[in-house]
Structure 1
Amino acid sequence: MERYHYSPQDIDDSFSEKIYDLYLNGIDGGKRFLTAKEVAQLERYRHEIDDQVNASDFTFFNLSQELMEKALVRAQGYYKDILATPFDFAGGESVELDGEKRAYSSDEKELWQYWHQYLKYETLDRYAEAIEKQEKGDEELAGKTATELEADARADVLTMFDRWFDRLIKLDREDRMSQYFNAFTGVFDPHTNYYKPIDKENFDIRFSGKLEGIGARLLTEGDYTKVTEVVVGGPAWKGKELEANDIITKVAQEGEAPVDIKGMVIDDVVSQIRGSKDTKVILTVKKVDGSEKEIIITRDIVILDESFAKSLIIDGQAPGEKIGYISLPSFYADFQDRNGRHCADDVEKEIEKLKNVGVDGIVLDLRNNGGGSLRDVVKMSGFFIESGPVVQVKSRDYEPEVLMDVDPQVQYDGPLVVMVNNFSASASEILAAALQDYGRAVIVGSNSTFGKGTVQRFIDLDRTLRGFEDVKPLGQVKLTTQKFYRIDGGSTQLRGVTPDIILPDNYAYIQTGEKEQEYPMPWTEIAAVDYDQKVLNMTHMEQIEARSKARVATNEIFSKVQANAARMQKLRDLTAYPLDLEAYQDLEAARTADAERFKNLFDKVVITSARNLEVDLPIFEADESKKARNDDFLKAVSKDVYINEVLSIMHDVIELERVAINDRN
């Protein structure tokens, strides 16, 4: 951290305080487990963690784990004891669910009282719902007494807490140590994290969109590991033997004895099942009908294609107008495989396909795209300009480096709209900022993007640290080594990218993004670099924005979105609930009535012309599951009011550009 991080911290008492607060919030932010007296034992070390770091001393961590282990056992006793007795839902009692608004319980008696309120709330929520369903004629609840409904509600809560505590108790020292380490890294910035080996493996899978294994999603139910989904196209899917809802009881590597995985945490189960391509794993599974079966699966590369770029054609707002739509869920890249997929290459292919069918404009959708490969975003930005700077990257003690598009080729020179929202981050912000600075595209979205203006790299601790062979693998540290800046010199850090056209958004009044994280790096500014492009300049932005505002003002759905945003802010601020049945029912009735106004807000079909390119149709016709996923994608686009407005914005861009060309001629 001291050697590589962009902004190293002094290991002093202030550092110690921050670690203490982050770690305590991580292990008991809801203030449901520790008492004030127990926290006082930990408080003694508030200013000593820095000294323990330098001495390789884990006294504070060990004490925290000892207290938490006892607290978990105690809380488990509380909920089992409390849920054994019926609740009386009368009186003026209430419960505060936000840990930040409550103090730690002074002693075990007060903690028990909080748990009683907490469990009473959870039971009341289910009890009130059951009463409502019964009144509406639910056949399963017909004839049940109030006593029976309350008992059923308590039983449901007991099952939920049994599952929760089963997961908590199964966490081993490595899991808890990982949480402790991440309190250290979190003080540097929100994106500097420690990854134990399985976490790094999962990160690589998300980043590359592929894994080596059998292609099955799993979850823990009690002591058992259950298959929730078999990934289409993977080895398990091809074998047709492993099915959703199968329970895996044992795992064996080829030529080795099976390992009983009952009670094993999910990360350890996954480590047993995943493995290199062309190796075999033998699963002992219990089927839904109770039969037991051994299934041999040869591991292979599993492609998670839902994360990849895909395109559609949509009719524009004028007769004969044809718009290309590209959805890019992430800036994925597979650096482990020379032949692996990269998002820039995939988007280039989609652009070429859209050009071949003669689209009049292209929409690039980066909503909810959390970023990824910096190399790919630089290359992708170059698709829309001749050549020039895309982003500036600054390391700790060096002058900024300007990352350039050096390829003079322009893959697409037509009208371009980029869609973003509050959750478009990092690489998404680089691309949106570059195209906005160049005046090359209209950026459309919520009031701002996420605001992550930092670059991370992984440090493999096994390679960095010699020795420690008895405890390797040690995992990796992802740390912030650089900040990136727009070509105009400003940073997207904290501020994000403000779209040219802002559309109503459900999260408009809720604070989101980098600025809401703990210890984010500050916004800074550096000198701008020279940039220019002669492909297509969006010179009519004021007119385009004015037309969009006029449409939005008269759009019924957008009007409801604005009202719903205010409602969602109000709901977020509500953290205290009555424990009286009548008062709770009144509160829920009011909330339900309020929510009813926004029910099925985005269920109306607003786009009827979205369709696949003919060149892509054979892919879906050859694979039933891919066809089903594609149908869902088309259905989602057909109901997307934001894409519909973007089609109108695109029409304005095309029309105004045509007028400008005629005027110049």
Structure 2
Amino acid sequence: MKKSFLILMLTVIVSAASCSFTTNKVENDPNKDKLLIDLISYVLGKGHYDAKQIDDDFSQEVFSDYIDALDPLKRYFYKSDIEEFKEYEKLIDDEIRNKEITFFNITYSRLQQRMAQARILHKEILETPFNFEKNESINTDYDNLSYVKNKEEMKNRWRLQLKFNALSSYYDKIEEQIDSITENSNYNRKTSIVLEEEARDITKTSLKEYFEFADDLERKDWFSIYINSIVEEFDPHTYYFAPQDKDRFDIQMSGKLEGIGARLQKKNDNVKIIEIISGGPAWRGNEVEVGDLIMKVKQEKEEEPVSIVGMRLDDAVSLIKGPKGTKVSLTIKKVDGTIEVIEIVRDVVELEETYAKSSIVKKNDKTFGVVNLPKFYFNMQDYNQRNAAKDVKQEIIRLKEQDMDGLVIDLRDNGGGSLQTVVDIAGLFIEKGPIVQVRTKGESPEVLSDKDRNILWDGPLVILVNELSASASEILAAAMQDYKRAIIIGSKQTYGKGTVQNVMDLNRWMRSNDFGDLGALKLTTQKFYRVNGGSTQLEGVKSDVVVPDRYSYIDIGEKDQENPLPWDKIAAAEYELWNGYIDFEQTINNSKERMSKNDQLKLIEENAKWVREKRDVNNYSLNYTNYKANIELNEKQAERFKGINDYKNSLTFQSLPYENELMEKDTILAEKRKRWHKSLSKDVYVEEAISVLEDLKINNIRRSKNPLTIIKN
């Protein structure tokens, strides 16, 4: 796979060198945006697995998606604006070829104008009290809402939206007052006029923060939206990363960052600390706390600190983070109002919630293990650094030391990640053989195999999935299903993402670059297939035991996205079924029978249907009496679903010994594990997974052939 992709890249780079991306071309064209359009369209045409024809039809799709991205609630643009824009509806393809961005310039300029008008408009509206006794309603089906024709209609659209927001706060205020009066008979009751004004003030604050966020967006941010409206027409997973977006992507994939170890949020003009990351420099120093405001930042070798009050959050973060071992001085306004200067030595910060974690599960006299894997993480610069495969292997070794009788791998909500980590993890459970087939356009499929004959775990295995288990998760689940190595429990099908993306640094395509960092393009370059030859694209992995969950009736899979690549099939790879079980099919049937009688699952399915019904409601009354009646009706209907959260399974969960030692010093980790174990104790799916592990009978003759397995008496 790597070889074929390298050949493609070399071919494209050589071609690019003879095309427009040369030093002279860049110097003669100072417009970075035009360069980006030119470069990205070229890379898409040469490198995408199923490159689309950039023609009038393509142009129309880009036009529609881009306008919708700029104004999804249709509260900025007028009908006349859209009619003016439509002159370019079939010209975007021509502009791409001609390296022009006239359409973007016009829409960007008009949006800034309309947003400035909206700032004035919403303030005018919020100066007047809302009449919550008037019978009127709001339609939130924005896709089918028409654009307004004039300022009067625009003002009314904003008025309805702001009234809807204020009505929600007004209702909460009244309910809070009722509770206060119930608790304290001497409570000073507020009039409806005062409560309405307070609710309107909350809406004012909310809109103020919204427009402050919008003010932080620069032209380049809006241009990224335009570029992505173009690239996402190729498929849902092709995406342009502006420089700072690429940094975030790298952090997500590796689970690591270099900085002080705190999550920040823009609040008014201030940068606020909203979380201290366990184990990071800020946590170790114990001098900053959640709620502190960072006022100034001073680098190690600079004399004067830089004020970040009013600065864009991204720019402030860029100043605060930095390489491991460097020092940064922060002027902090503490929660109590005092000002302190705190020096922090930056370090590598590991985002613990990104990584695999495990729990010992006790049921009767048996011990089981659960490994939760949030994503298939890896270091994009060095695969040999910490990655999902290494961590999962280590967790299984630790669980085996506790005499584990069976193992659950929880891939629910796991959106994927590194392909290589999947192969490495799958190899922990089979002797050897193919794990996944990968095909580059125009080439024969390449089979990625586990070649290590050792098996780390040859006992009972269950994999949990849901509709949000995607990509790499689907490869692992599919491989274990095809080998009949594991029983898959979960949704009717997984997400259905059967494509492979590579992230290309756009700067590497330039001989010379006077424009700074150009960002990166995540590009769909390949498709992967199960060892049985079928693609997971669109169809996903169908569970052996199908159980309902909260997503069962919501359209969230690949098939529900725009522009997905089609499903197809190739020849199967050569592989041998796992022969370590005696009663595989009977165990599946037993589980299906149990699940069909499970009252908790019936309740979950009813709730999923009800949630879908509520999601389809688009019309809401702005009359307080009707609004309150609707809420009370919903609460009454929801009463029957309270049992979902009250459910308690019969399992006991505990951390591994090494984590218990860590938690003696790390109270944050201790709290996180406490919450996770509480969640597991209410989890009907984990409960059934353990029951399946109990049912699976192992062929001990098969197990005795594995030199890494110790047979218990």
- For Structure 1 versus Structure 2, the TM-score category normalised by the shorter chain is over 0.9
Contact residue 134 and residue 142 of structure 1 kept, 8 A: no
CA distance in 2, matches of 1:659, 1:240: 56
Q: Which amino acid aligns with 1:358?
A: D
Encode CA deviations 1:177-224: one digit per residue, 9 max, x unaligned: 111111111011111111111111111111111111111100001111
Which of residues 188, 203, 206 in structure 1 aligns to 2:249?
A: 203
Q: What is the Cα deviation at residue 54 of structure 1?
A: 1.5
Matching of residue 55 in structure 1 with residue 101 in structure 2:
no
Encode CA deviations 1:625-644: one digit per residue, 9 max, x unaligned: 22222222222211212111
Distance 1:77 1:657, change over 3 A: farther
Q: Which amino acid aligns with 2:291?
A: N
Matching of residue 286 in structure 1 with residue 330 in structure 2:
no
Q: 2:24 — aligned with what?
A: none
Encode CA deviations 1:476-521: one digit per residue, 9 max, x unaligned: 1110000001111111111111100011211211111111111111
Q: 1:300 — aligned with what?
A: 347
**Structure 1 portions without partners, runs of 5+:** none
Q: What is the Cα deviation at residue 446 of structure 1?
A: 1.3
Contact residue 210 and residue 304 of structure 1 kept, 8 A: yes
Q: 2:370 — aligned with what?
A: 325
Contact residue 391 and residue 487 of structure 1 kept, 8 A: yes
Q: What is the Cα deviation at residue 622 of structure 1?
A: 3.2
CA distance in 2, matches of 1:623, 1:607: 28
Which of residues 486, 503, 527 in structure 1 aligns to 2:571?
A: 527
Q: 1:38 — aligned with what?
A: 81
- Structure 1 stretches of at least 4 aligned residues deviating more than 3 Å after TM superposition: 136-142, 537-540, 656-661
Q: 1:10 — aligned with what?
A: 53
Contact residue 447 and residue 502 of structure 1 kept, 8 A: yes
Distance 1:90 1:449, change over 3 A: same
Q: Which amino acid aligns with 2:350?
A: I
Identity %: 42
Contact residue 579 and residue 702 of structure 2 kept, 8 A: no
Q: 1:360 — aligned with what?
A: 405
Contact residue 285 and residue 292 of structure 1 kept, 8 A: yes
CA distance in 2, matches of 1:113, 1:628: 48
Distance 1:293 1:622, change over 3 A: closer
Which of residues 134, 147, 162 in structure 1 aligns to 2:208?
A: 162
Q: What is the Cα deviation at residue 546 of structure 1?
A: 3.4
Matching of residue 540 in structure 1 with residue 587 in structure 2:
no
Q: Which amino acid aligns with 1:570?
A: E
CA distance in 1, matches of 2:197, 2:98: 54
CA distance in 1, matches of 2:550, 2:89: 40
Which of residues 210, 213, 216 in structure 1 aligns to 2:259?
A: 213
Question: Does 16-25 or 335-344 show the bigger shift?
Answer: 335-344
Question: Does 644-653 or 402-411 show the bigger shift?
Answer: 644-653
CA distance in 2, matches of 1:242, 1:301: 18
Q: 2:311 — aligned with what?
A: 264
Matching of residue 277 in structure 1 with residue 324 in structure 2:
yes
Contact residue 477 and residue 541 of structure 2 kept, 8 A: yes
CA distance in 1, matches of 2:131, 2:369: 60
Q: What is the Cα deviation at residue 603 of structure 1?
A: 3.7
Contact residue 45 and residue 60 of structure 1 kept, 8 A: yes
Q: Which amino acid aligns with 1:488?
A: N
Matching of residue 568 in structure 1 with residue 611 in structure 2:
yes
Contact residue 313 and residue 322 of structure 1 kept, 8 A: yes
Encode CA deviations 1:71-105: one digit per residue, 9 max, x unaligned: 11111222111111111123431101121121111
Matching of residue 24 in structure 1 with residue 67 in structure 2:
yes
CA distance in 2, matches of 1:23, 1:84: 33
Q: What is the Cα deviation at residue 18 of structure 1?
A: 1.4
Q: 2:434 — aligned with what?
A: 389
Q: What is the Cα deviation at residue 59 of structure 1?
A: 0.7
Q: What is the Cα deviation at residue 609 of structure 1?
A: 1.4
Q: 2:277 — aligned with what?
A: 231
CA distance in 2, matches of 1:616, 1:243: 24
Question: Does 149-158 or 9-18 show the bigger shift?
Answer: 9-18
CA distance in 2, matches of 1:461, 1:431: 31
Please report the RMSD computed on the Cα atoms of aligned residues, expressed in angstroms.
Answer: 1.9
Q: Equivalent residues in 2 for 1:127-166 (5 A)?
A: 127-137=170-180, 142-166=188-212
Question: Does 126-135 or 165-174 show the bigger shift?
Answer: 126-135
Q: 2:362 — aligned with what?
A: 315
Distance 1:130 1:616, change over 3 A: closer
Distance 1:457 1:163, change over 3 A: same
Q: Which amino acid aligns with 1:596?
A: E
Encode CA deviations 1:403-425: one digit per residue, 9 max, x unaligned: 11111111111110000011111
Matching of residue 344 in structure 1 with residue 389 in structure 2:
yes
SS in 2 for 1:601: helix
Q: 2:39 — aligned with what?
A: none
CA distance in 1, matches of 2:667, 2:172: 38
Q: What is the Cα deviation at residue 282 of structure 1?
A: 1.6
Question: Does 292-301 or 376-385 show the bigger shift?
Answer: 292-301
Q: Which amino acid aligns with 1:580?
A: N
Encode CA deviations 1:557-602: one digit per residue, 9 max, x unaligned: 2121011011100111012101111111111111111122223622
Q: Which amino acid aligns with 1:492?
A: T
Contact residue 434 and residue 447 of structure 2 kept, 8 A: yes
Q: 1:93 — aligned with what?
A: 136
Distance 1:136 1:338, change over 3 A: closer
Matching of residue 511 in structure 1 with residue 558 in structure 2:
no
Q: 2:592 — aligned with what?
A: 549
Aligned length: 656
Q: 2:479 — aligned with what?
A: 434
CA distance in 2, matches of 1:338, 1:100: 44
Q: What is the Cα deviation at residue 617 of structure 1?
A: 2.3
Q: TM-score, normalised by structure 2?
A: 0.89
Encode CA deviations 1:111-130: one digit per residue, 9 max, x unaligned: 11111111111111221222
